[in-house]
Amino acid sequence: MKLYTFTVAQNAQGGRLYAYARRMLPDVPEYVLREAFQKRDVKVDGQRVNMSASVLPGSTVQIYARETEAKAVEIPIVYEDEYVLVAVKPAGISCEADAKGGRTLPQLLHAQMQKKNPDAQEPLLCHLLDNPTEGLIVLAKTGDAQQALQDGFRQRLIHKEYTCVVQGTPKPEHRVLSDYLLKDAKRGEVRIVPEERPGAKPVITEYTVLEGGECARLRIGLHTGRTHQSRAHMAYIGHPLLGDDQYGDRAFNKQKKARRLMLCSTCLRFEMEGRFSYLNAYSFTCKPSF
């Protein structure tokens, strides 16, 4: 048996301890963690718990699990030069540290890069993807490269496309949605409203149906880059993303056994000016895992 120990962050929010442990111990195979919880080989502040245990901020967690070959968390890198890195973020990994814990994408990439170059510095985020969203993401290796690429995103010189699966088939098959978005930072949620009001920001989402059906596959283009934009906007028109329990239909997700969000950043194109205009020659794509 092997002992894994960690402390839950003081600002950790609610939720199942099992899910929190998976994020804290990404190198441990899922089936090994599940087995430990099912056998009650998990202690929280010295008390045994099972799969139903909840996150307790500040608590010490001890997990006794059978020894197995650890799975390396390998982040696919699709492009790299001395200034820029384009990777494919797996679902379930956060870009920035949060209350749910676990190693961040830059930390995982840094460990990966140090295997080739011990002097490698931790890469810098140029934009964000939500924890449950997978797909292409851009990072920089220097501060000035980060600033230039962040400016490129703000000025809409870097274009992103997403692929998602939604409940039902939207009509018409192609549409540009234009509404307003209100953000509730305290609850970590957003809300779409049809009219301008104090605090609301314009939000424009373009979708194209790729495959119709009870669960349709869509291509999404974001003309604005707001928090949870595609998730909230598609839910607003009655076609929430499959696997999205926050904005979508929990019962439908359960029926379809959709345990994760079906959203992937699948295409990146550049129209940069100046120093990083060489990136305009590239069009990066990846395939969704769903």
Query: Annotated catalytic residue: which of 130, 144, 151, 244?
Result: 130
Contacts 24+ apart (CB under 8 A), 40-47: 41/1, 41/65, 42/17, 44/17
Q: Rounded to whole angstroms, how far apart are CA atoms 174 and 165?
A: 15
Residue listed under structure tokens 């495959």: 211
Strand partners, 165: 217
Query: Would residue 130 show up in a list of annotated catalytic residues for this protein?
Result: yes
Given a contact cutoff of 8 angstroms between Cβ atoms, the answer to whether 207 and 241 are in contact is no
Q: Which residue, 201, 132, 122, 192, is CA-closest to 162?
A: 132
For 289, the 3-state DSSP assignment is coil
Q: Which residue, 138, 75, 111, is CA-closest to 265?
A: 138
Cβ neighbours of residue 248 closer than 8 Å, sequence gap 6 or more? 167, 231, 235, 240, 241, 242
Catalytic residues: 130
